[in-house]
C-alpha cells in the first residue's frame, strides 16, 4: 500500500469565535484524562449511485471541508489550541488539520475490509491512513485525513485529543458533522455546552504517567476479536454457572459488555500465567459514563470527559482457579459500585474523590512490578455507524491504536448490531501467548483469529 499526501491545510470555523469565548477552562475530569489522540477510522465503500456518476472523491472532500468549517463554529474549542500550563483551550480559530491522501498499490477497499484483511489494516497499514499528531503546543486538537482509494472508496481518519473529549463527545461531534454535510445546518438542540469546569473546576494534582511514551520502541500490535451473538450467548451461560464462594461472584445475568470484558481479562490473566509460571495480581480499569448518573445538573449536551474509572481486581487465591463467572462478577460489582457512589454523591468533591481513589490505586499498581494493569472502554450502543455525510453510512468503523495506547481494550458493536468487535493492544510477546497457545480461547473467537 502506498499513501501519498496530496494536500494539508487548516480548516477554520465558518464564523469567528466571539471574544468572550476565546478561553475555555477545562474541567478536572479533562485534567486527569489521557493526553493521547484517539484515532477513528470510517470506511465508506463506493455505492452503485456513485458508480453511475454520483459525487466523486474530490467533491466529497470539498463537501467535508465546508461542513467541517460549519461544525467548528458550533464546536469552536476544537479549532483552538491546548495550553497545558493553564489547563485550558485558547479558542483562537486556528483550525483543525485536514489532509487529502491518495491510496494506491493495494487491493480495493472492499477486499481490504474482508474479514481476513481487517486486522492487517489495523496493525500494518493504519499508520499510513491516520494523521500523526506530534506533541506540541501548536498541534491541532482535531486532525482529519481523507484517504481516496482507486476503487472509489474512501477512509476518513479522525483524531481527537482525549484531553478535550471522551467517546460520547467525539461521536456526537462526528455525527453532527455528518448531519451538516447532509442538510447544511442543524438546529439549536445540536449546540454543545462547554460548562463542565463550572461543575468540576481544575485543581492542583499530581498526574501520573498513564501510558508508554510515543518513543517506546517495543513492537506493538492490535488484534481484532469478533464475537458472534451465539458466542456471546455461550459465554453468558458459562458466566452464570454456580459454584463460586467469592463475595463478588456474579449473582445476576451479565450484560454482554461485562461478560466479554471478563473473557478478555481472563485471557490476559492466563497469558501472564503462561509467561510467568504463576498467576499474578491484575487490575482492570473500566471507563464508566456518568452522564445523567449524578445529582449534579450537568447539561445533557455537555462536551468533554464525563467518565470515571471503575476498578475490578483479581488476586490469586492460592487454589489455582480462574473462573469466568468470578471475573464477570468482579466487573459487575466494580461498575455497579461506582455508579452507586456517583448517584449518592452530593457534590462534585465526592465525584473527584472517586476519581482520585482510582488513579491512586492505578499508580500504586503500576509501581509494583508483579501487578498487571489494563484499561478498557466500551462503545457498544454508541452511534458509531451514524456518520453519514450524504453518501451513506460507513461500512466499517474501527479504532486503530497508537503505541502509547498499549494494554487497552475497546469494545464496539458490529455493524449489524448483533455481535461485538474487540480491539486489544498488546506487545508482540503477549499477542503470541494470547492467540496461539491457549486452546480454550480459540473456539470463541472469529475465524480470522484462528488462521
- The residue written with cell numbers 467541517 in the block is 68
Q: Provide CB contacts within 8 A for 111, sequence distance 6+.
A: 117
**What span, in angstroms and rounded, lies between the C-alpha atoms of 394 and 154?**
10
Q: Which of 162, 325, 333, 389 is catalytic?
A: 162
Q: Which of 93, 246, 388, 427 is catalytic?
A: 388
Type and span of the H or E element at 232: helix 229-239
Residue 222 CB neighbour total at 10 angstroms: 23
Residue 437 CB neighbour total at 10 angstroms: 13
| Residue 71 near residue 176, CB atoms below 8 Å | yes
**What span, in angstroms and rounded, lies between the C-alpha atoms of 23 and 89?**
6
**162 an active-site residue?**
yes
In order of 166, 176, 181, 302, the CA distances from 171 in angstroms are 9, 8, 15, 13
**388 an active-site residue?**
yes
In order of 42, 117, 426, the CA distances from 449 in angstroms are 22, 11, 15
Q: Across the strands, what pairs with 409?
A: 376, 424
In order of 250, 252, 343, 409, the CA distances from 255 in angstroms are 11, 9, 20, 17
**What span, in angstroms and rounded, lies between the C-alpha atoms of 119 and 429?**
17
Residue 111 CB neighbour total at 10 angstroms: 11
Query: Which grid coordinates are listed for 154?
Result: 474512501
**What span, in angstroms and rounded, lies between the C-alpha atoms of 41 and 126?**
9
**What span, in angstroms and rounded, lies between the C-alpha atoms of 287 and 378?**
8
In order of 74, 96, 139, the CA distances from 92 in angstroms are 14, 11, 13
Q: Catalogue the active-site residues.
A: 162, 388
Amino acid at each position: 500500500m502506498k499513501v501519498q499526501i496530496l494536500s494539508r491545510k487548516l480548516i477554520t470555523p465558518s464564523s469567528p469565535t466571539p471574544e468572550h469565548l476565546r478561553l475555555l477552562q477545562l474541567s478536572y475530569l479533562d485534567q486527569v484524562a489521557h493526553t493521547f489522540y484517539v484515532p477513528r477510522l470510517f470506511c465508506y465503500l463506493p455505492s452503485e449511485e456513485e458508480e453511475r456518476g454520483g459525487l466523486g472523491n474530490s467533491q466529497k472532500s470539498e463537501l467535508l471541508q465546508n461542513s467541517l468549517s460549519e461544525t467548528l463554529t458550533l464546536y469552536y474549542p476544537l479549532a483552538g489550541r491546548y495550553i497545558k500550563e493553564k489547563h485550558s483551550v485558547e479558542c483562537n480559530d486556528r483550525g483543525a488539520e485536514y489532509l487529502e491522501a491518495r491510496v494506491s498499490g493495494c487491493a480495493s477497499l472492499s477486499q481490504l475490509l474482508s474479514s481476513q484483511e481487517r486486522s492487517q489494516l489495523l496493525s500494518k497499514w493504519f499508520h499510513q491512513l491516520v494523521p500523526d499528531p506530534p506533541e506540541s503546543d501548536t498541534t491541532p486538537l482535531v486532525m482529519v485525513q481523507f484517504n481516496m482509494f482507486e476503487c472509489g472508496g474512501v477512509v476518513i481518519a479522525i483524531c481527537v485529543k482525549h484531553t478535550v473529549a471522551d467517546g460520547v463527545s467525539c461521536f456526537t461531534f462526528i455525527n453532527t458533522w455528518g448531519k451538516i454535510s447532509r442538510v447544511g445546518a442543524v438546529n439549536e438542540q445540536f449546540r454543545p455546552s462547554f460548562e463542565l469546569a463550572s461543575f468540576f473546576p481544575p485543581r492542583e494534582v499530581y498526574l501520573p504517567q498513564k501510558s508508554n511514551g510515543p518513543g517506546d520502541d517495543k513492537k506493538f500490535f492490535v488484534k481484532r476479536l469478533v464475537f458472534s451473538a451465539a458466542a456471546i450467548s455461550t459465554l453468558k451461560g458459562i458466566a452464570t454457572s454456580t459454584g463460586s464462594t467469592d463475595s463478588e461472584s456474579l449473582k445476576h445475568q451479565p450484560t454482554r459488555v461485562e461478560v466479554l470484558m471478563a473473557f478478555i481479562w481472563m485471557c490476559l490473566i492466563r497469558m501472564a500465567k503462561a509467561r510467568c509460571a504463576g498467576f499474578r495480581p491484575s487490575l482492570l480499569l473500566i471507563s464508566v459514563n456518568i452522564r445523567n448518573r449524578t445529582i449534579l445538573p450537568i447539561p445533557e449536551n455537555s462536551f468533554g470527559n464525563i467518565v470515571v474509572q471503575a476498578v475490578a481486581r483479581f488476586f490469586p487465591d492460592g487454589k489455582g482457579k480462574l473462573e469466568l463467572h468470578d471475573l464477570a462478577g468482579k466487573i459487575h460489582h466494580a461498575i455497579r459500585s461506582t455508579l452507586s457512589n456517583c448517584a449518592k454523591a452530593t457534590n462534585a468533591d465526592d465525584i473527584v474523590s472517586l476519581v482520585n481513589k482510582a488513579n491512586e490505586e492505578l499508580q500504586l499498581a503500576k509501581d509494583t512490578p508483579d501487578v498487571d494493569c489494563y484499561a478498557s472502554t466500551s462503545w457498544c450502543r454508541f452511534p458509531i455507524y451514524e456518520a453519514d455525510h450524504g453518501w451513506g453510512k460507513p461500512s466499517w468503523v474501527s479504532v486503530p491504536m497508537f503505541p502509547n495506547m498499549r494494554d487497552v481494550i475497546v469494545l464496539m458493536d458490529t455493524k449489524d448490531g448483533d455481535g461485538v468487535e474487540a480491539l486489544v493492544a498488546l506487545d508482540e510477546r503477549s499477542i503470541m501467548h494470547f492467540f496461539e497457545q491457549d486452546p480454550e480461547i480459540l473456539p470463541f473467537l472469529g475465524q480470522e483469529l484462528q488462521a
